[in-house]
Amino acid sequence: MAGQPILRVELGEVVYPPRRSKRTLQTRYGVTGKHVLNGISSQPLLDACRALKAAGEPDSTIVGIYRAGRDHPEMTCSVGVGARTRVDETRSTVFAKWTPRPLGTWHNKEAEL
């Protein structure tokens, strides 16, 4: 795995939530190459892994999150690990098992992003 190329998830601009919103900051991200994906997320590496897995990328593919102009990733993981993980901020910030939101829990303001 040491010589395996890293799939790049490029961080974009920060998208601020509406005033008085309890949501965290969202960041635009993009993946180019075999799969072209774009999204907005508060955990872009992990959400990119879920999108890549849904697009058929193997679980063993290494993915890294890159800031503009940087040659080294800020963080890396495999698609499989990233797709199964989320950031849990209910206690101290930790990684936890990802579960999809129940249908009907999205707010109209989130749909506008």
Tally Cβ neighbours within 10 Å of residue 34. 11
Length of the chain: 113
Q: According to the model, what pLDDT value does residue 105 have?
A: 53
Q: Is the dihedral angle over the CA atoms 96, 99, 104, 110 positive or is it negative?
A: positive
Which tens digits make up the pLDDT trace of 55-100?
Answer: 999 999 999 999 988 999 999 999 999 999 888 777 666 677 878 7
The pLDDT of residue 21 is 67
Return the percentage of the chain with pLDDT > 70, whole number. Answer: 77
Whether the model clears a pTM of 0.75, i.e. scores above it, the answer is no
Average pLDDT, rounded, for the chain: 82
Instruction: Give the residue, 106 or 9, on which the prediction is more confident.
Output: 9
Structural domain includes residue 111: no
Instruction: Look at residue 113 and tell me if it is in a domain.
Output: no
Secondary element (H or E) of residue 49: helix 44-54
99's CB contacts (< 8 A; 6+ apart) are 86
Residue for token digits 């993946």?
31
* Mean pLDDT of the region 45-49: 94
C-alpha radius of gyration, the chain, whole number: 15
Amino acid at 73: P
pLDDT at residue 113 is higher than 50: no
Overall domain count for the chain: 1
105 domain-assigned: no
Range of the domain at 39: 7-100
